Structure 1
Amino acid sequence: MKHAQPSKTMTLGADLRALRKARGLKLADLSETLGRSVGWLSQVERDLSEPSITDLRHMAKALNVSVSSLFRQAASAAEEQGFIVRAASRRPIGSHEAGLTEELLSPDLTDDFEVVHSTFEPSSEIADPVTRPTQEVGYVVSGRLDLWIAGQTFTLNAGDSFRIRGEPFRWMNPYPKPAVVIWVIAPPVY
Structure 2
Amino acid sequence: MIHAAPDQPQTLGADLRALRRARGLTLAGLAKRLGRSVGWLSQVERDLSEPAIVDLRQIAGALDVPLSLLFAHEAPRADEAGYVVRKGTRRPLGSGAAGLTEELLSPDLTDDFEMMHSTFEPQQRIDQWVTRATQELGYLISGKLDLEIGARAFTIHPGDSFRIRGEPFRWANPYDVPAVVIWVIAPPVY
Aligned to 2:27: 27
Query: C-alpha distance in 2, partners of 1:176/1:83?
Result: 35
Corresponding residue pairs, total: 190
**Corresponding residue SS for 1:98:** coil
Query: C-alpha distance in 1, partners of 2:101/2:186?
Result: 19
Query: C-alpha distance in 2, partners of 1:29/1:185?
Result: 24
Q: Which letter maps to 1:163? A: R
Structure 2 gaps of 5+ residues are: none
Aligned to 1:118: 118
Query: C-alpha distance in 2, partners of 1:125/1:17?
Result: 32
1:106 aligns with 2:106: yes
Aligned ranges for residues 1-190 of structure 1 at < 5 Å?
2-190=2-190
Identity percentage over the alignment? 68
Q: Which letter maps to 2:71? A: F
Q: Is the 8 A contact 1:3 1:79 kept in 2?
A: no
**Corresponding residue SS for 1:182:** strand
Point out the more displaced range, 165-174 or 72-81: 72-81
Q: TM-score by structure 1 length?
A: 0.97
Q: Is the 8 A contact 2:66 2:96 kept in 1?
A: no
**Corresponding residue SS for 2:56:** helix
**Cα deviations across residues 44-63 of structure 1 (Å, max 9, x unaligned)?**
11111111111111111111
Query: C-alpha distance in 1, partners of 2:71/2:180?
Result: 24
Q: TM-score by structure 2 length?
A: 0.97
**Corresponding residue SS for 1:103:** strand
Query: How far off is 1:149 after superposition?
Result: 0.4
